[in-house]
Copies of this chain bind each other. A is one copy, B any other.
Amino acid sequence: MKILNIRSVGLSLSLEKGLPLGSGLGSSAASAAAAAVAVNELFGRKLEVKDLVLAGLESEAKVSGYHADNIAPAIMGGFVLIRTPTKKMRAALPAEIGMSHHVWNCSQAGALVASVLQGDLVGLGKALSSDRIVEPKRAPLIPGMVGVKKAALEAGAFGCTISGAGPTAVAVVDSEDRGVEVGERMVEAFWKEGNLKAVAMVKRLDRVGARLVGSVPR
């Protein structure tokens, strides 16, 4: 509302949240995106996408820190490459990284971007699965994660890693059927190897981003 230059209206939003909290799925950003888009719709849709991201960033800053990693893709859809990352350190991650790991992960980052742009699912999965810095530090904190990844790959996923800071695990597949199968194997592994009760969801990448899906006049 500040960006819209509206200062004299009070607004109360109620949110119907479809994502679990603290899951590493970026649910706080999803909420912030919904709020930004809803307010923009209410007041004449005057903001550009860039402004919506900036507005969402303000909300994110309150709960998750000032970074666009989640809010930008939540609003813009598709894959979003963040070029000016936050300096904020994340829990469980090392402050210093060995040169060979750095070069390795940089290569995977490049391969991941190339795979996305070329629609290469095999390459995308491989790059996603090849993190030598973050995943090795976080995986041991998620009971069963190593077995879950193994199960996903064995069931035919192109790649598997931790979503955000976890504990959600994410795998890449190319069909709903395969997704259901991979999901079942992952849930099984979480239970057997981590003693964790998990649920699996198969979702298609949203390329549009946050938008008005309906409105109820009062």
Q: Which residues of A line the B interface, CB within 8 A?
A: 81-85, 87, 89, 93-100, 102-114, 117-118, 133
Contact B117 A100, beta carbon cutoff 8 Å: no
When C-beta atoms are compared, the residue in chain B nearest to A127 turns out to be: B83
Measured CA separation A103–B94 after assembly (Å): 12
25 contacts between A and B (CB under 8 A): A81-B110, A81-B114, A83-B107, A83-B108, A83-B111, A84-B107, A85-B100, A85-B103, A89-B99, A89-B100, A94-B99, A95-B98, A96-B96, A96-B97, A96-B99, A97-B102, A102-B102, A102-B105, A102-B133, A105-B106, A107-B109, A109-B109, A109-B110, A113-B114, A114-B117
**SS of A interface (majority):** helix
Other-chain residue from B84, B89, B106 in contact with A106 (beta carbon distance below 8 A): B106
Contact B104 A106, beta carbon cutoff 8 Å: no
**How many copies of this chain?**
2
When C-beta atoms are compared, the residue in chain B nearest to A87 turns out to be: B100
When C-beta atoms are compared, the residue in chain B nearest to A126 turns out to be: B83
Residues of B within 8 A of A102 (CB): 97, 102, 105, 133
Minimum distance in angstroms from A155 CB to a CB of chain B: 24
Measured CA separation A89–B101 after assembly (Å): 11
Residues of B within 8 A of A112 (CB): 110
Other-chain residue from B83, B89, B113, B133 in contact with A113 (beta carbon distance below 8 A): B113
* Contact status of A93 and B84, CB under 8 A, knowing A110-B110, A117-B114: no
Residues of B within 8 A of A99 (CB): 89, 93-97
Measured CA separation A99–B214 after assembly (Å): 43
Measured CA separation A106–B100 after assembly (Å): 13
Measured CA separation A193–B84 after assembly (Å): 31
